Amino acid sequence: MPSEMSIGVYIHVPFCAYRCAYCDFAVVTGQLGRVEAYLAAVQREIGAFRRHWGPQTVGSVYFGGGTPSLLEPSAVARLLEAVAGLGTLETEAEISLESNPDDLSAERLAGLRKAGVTRLTVGLQAVDDRRLEALGRPLEAALGLEALERALDSGFVSVGADLIFGSPGQISDRWPEEIDAVLAVGPPHLSAYALETTSRTRLLRAVERGALPAPDPDQAATLYEVTCERLAAAGLERYEISNFARSGHRSRHNLLYWQDRPFVGFGPSAASYFAERRWTAPRRLSEYLRTAGRAAGGADVPPCSSDRLAGEALVFGLRLAEGIDLEAIERRHGAAAVARRRPVLERGVEAGLLLGEGNRFRLSSRGVLLADEIFVDLL
C-alpha cells in the first residue's frame, strides 16, 4: 500500500496511432516526431513542481493517454527517473501504464517491465470485430486477446483489460460471449465503461446524420447488470462503479481519486489535486510544450473552498462499492459542508438509491444505475 503521506503521479501521454470514433481525450495522431520535445517538457514541469512545492513521496505513477504504449520503454524509464527526482519513489510503488493491443509485442512488453512498469492495462474495448468497427478502432478482436495473453505472461504484478459497452448497434445477446472470452484469458482486473456520446466526436456526428443507430441507455443499463453478474460469478469483485478486480488487484492509483487523496498530473490536459488546490495543464500539445515548466503547477491557483472539496469527496467516494464515511469527510473538510448535504443523502436513502447506516452511505444496486441523479445534488 502507498503510505498515508504519499501522492500519486499521473502522466498524460498524448500520442495515438489513430483517433477512435468515440474519443474526446487530448490526443494527437501522426506526431511521434514530437516525443522528444514532449519528454523534455514533462521533465521541466516536474522540476518546476519540485522547486516550488518541495520533495514528495510518490506511492503510485499512472501513464494514461493517449497511448502510452507507443512510447519506447527507454522513454518510460526516462519519465520514471524524472518522477523519482520529485523526492522519493516508494520501492513498492505501483507503476501503471495504459496500452493498446497492437503495440504489445513480446519485446515491447519485456522492455516496459524492465523500465519499471508493474501494472499494465490493455485497451481491448470490444472483443467483436463489428463492434470494433463501430467504435472506429482498426483492430482485430482475436489479436487483442492474444496481446492480453502475452501481457499476462510478461511478469507484471497485475494486468487489467478495458471494455466499452453500449456501442451503436451492439447486439445484447453477444455481450456475455465477449466477457467470457476475456475471462477465459484471465486478467485479474477489468474495467467496463458505458459508451458516452455527449461530446463532439466522430461517432456522435455519425449518429446525428443517421449513419449509426443512437446508443440506447436502457440497453446500456441491462448490459451493465449482465457485466456485474458475470464478473461476480467469476470472482472479480466490483469495487467501483466501472471497476472489478480479484483480491489484491485493485488499482491503487485510481483509488486515490475516489478516496480524496492527493495526486499531481503532468503532460497536456493532466489534472491535479494537491494542497487543497485543483488545476489542469493546457490541453493543446503545442501550448503545453511552449509553457511547461514556466511556473510550477498550482503555484498561482488559490485553494478550493471546503464546501467544494466536501461535495467532490462525497461524489467520488460514492463511486466506491464501500461508499463513504461522513465523519472522515467532516474531519477533513468541516462539519458545515457535510451538514448541508446530509438531507440529500437521506432523500437518496428514502428513494432507494442509497443505503445508509449511521455515518456510512453507499449506492444501492438501483443507485449505481442512477448515480448521476444523486451526484448532481451533492456537488
Q: Which residues bind ligand SF4 (CB under 6 A)?
A: 16, 19-20, 23, 25, 27, 65-67, 100
Contact 173, 203 (CB under 8 A): no
Contact 239, 245 (CB under 8 A): yes
Q: Which residue is nearest to ligand SF4 (CB)?
A: 23
CB nearer to ligand SF4: give 75 or 93. Answer: 75
Q: How far is the CB of 191 from ligand SF4 (least distance, A)?
A: 13
Task: State whether residue 185 is helix, strand or coil.
Answer: helix
Measured from the Cβ of residue 367, the count of other Cβ atoms closer than 10 Å reads 22
Closest CA to 326 of 362, 356, 359: 359
CB nearer to ligand SF4: give 64 or 367. Answer: 64
Q: How far is the CB of 10 from ligand SF4 (least distance, A)?
A: 14
CB nearer to ligand SF4: give 190 or 371. Answer: 190
Would you list the DSSP string of 56-99?
A: EEEEEEEEEES-GGGS-HHHHHHHHHHHHTTEEEEEEEEEEEEE
Q: How far is the CB of 130 from ligand SF4 (least distance, A)?
A: 18
CB nearer to ligand SF4: give 118 or 125. Answer: 125
**What is the Cα gyration radius of the chain?**
21
Contact 62, 86 (CB under 8 A): no
Contact 320, 313 (CB under 8 A): no
Measured from the Cβ of residue 292, the count of other Cβ atoms closer than 10 Å reads 25
CB nearer to ligand SF4: give 195 or 241. Answer: 195
β-bridge pairing 237-240 and 243-245 = antiparallel
Strand boundaries in 233-365, DSSP class E: 237-240, 243-245, 263-266, 271-274, 277-280, 324-325, 354-357, 360-363
Contact 297, 48 (CB under 8 A): yes
Q: How far is the CB of 15 from ligand SF4 (least distance, A)?
A: 8
C-alpha grid cell, residue 153: 505472461
CB nearer to ligand SF4: give 66 or 298. Answer: 66
Q: How far is the CB of 212 from ligand SF4 (least distance, A)?
A: 17
Q: How far is the CB of 168 from ligand SF4 (least distance, A)?
A: 16
CB nearer to ligand SF4: give 101 or 317. Answer: 101
Q: How far is the CB of 72 from ligand SF4 (least distance, A)?
A: 18
Q: How far is the CB of 98 from ligand SF4 (least distance, A)?
A: 8
CA angle at 63 for the pair 328 and 166, rounded to the nearest 5°: 80
CB nearer to ligand SF4: give 89 or 135. Answer: 135
CB nearer to ligand SF4: give 202 or 360. Answer: 202
Separation between Cα atoms, residue 284 and residue 235, nearest integer Å: 41
CB nearer to ligand SF4: give 144 or 348. Answer: 144
Sign of CA pseudo-dihedral 110, 112, 115, 118 = negative
CA distances to 16, 196, 269, 288, 333 from 291, in Å:
22, 31, 13, 5, 33
Q: How far is the CB of 355 from ligand SF4 (least distance, A)?
A: 34
β-bridge pairing 189-194 and 243-245 = antiparallel
Q: Provide the angle, in degrees to the nearest 10, between the axes of the packed helices 141-152 and 175-185.
A: 30
Q: How far is the CB of 102 from ligand SF4 (least distance, A)?
A: 10
